[in-house]
């Protein structure tokens, strides 16, 4: 299950390895559509990549810090640093290919 990310634990949860953080909101229909995709990917990649969820309604400052203007947005952290962001609704296969590429360069 994805870790809930807030301003209080972002640094601690992203400090080591690859962490994919889903920036979402409860009123966002595409965000809800991404949930099962991310759950399936976490089942596959969970031993290699940590998955987190950050509610932008409760953490607007973090959304602004990471230049999240649209949701859903996925921000990939590598050893504590945000290295990439993808925005929008992505199919599972496309995200799996993306994660495979990131793991190959880890």
Any catalytic annotation for residue 47?
no
Cα separations in angstroms, 15 against 4, 73, 76: 15, 20, 12
Spot the catalytic one: 10, 31, 74, 76.
31
Spot the catalytic one: 28, 82, 86, 96.
28
Length of the chain: 106
Q: Helix (H) and strand (E) counts for the chain?
A: 4, 5
Any catalytic annotation for residue 55?
no
Which residues carry out catalysis?
A: 28, 31
């Amino acid at each position: 299950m994805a870790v809930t990310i807030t301003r209080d634990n972002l640094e601690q949860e992203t400090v080591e390895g690859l962490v994919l953080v889903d920036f979402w909101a409860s009123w966002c229909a595409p965000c809800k559509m991404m949930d099962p995709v991310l759950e399936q990917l976490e089942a596959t990649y969970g031993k290699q990549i940590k998955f987190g969820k950050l509610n932008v309604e409760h953490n607007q400052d973090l959304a602004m810090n990471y230049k999240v203007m649209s949701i859903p947005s996925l921000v990939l952290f590598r050893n504590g640093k945000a290295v990439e962001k993808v925005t929008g609704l992505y199919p599972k296969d496309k995200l799996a290919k993306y994660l495979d590429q990131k793991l190959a360069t880890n």
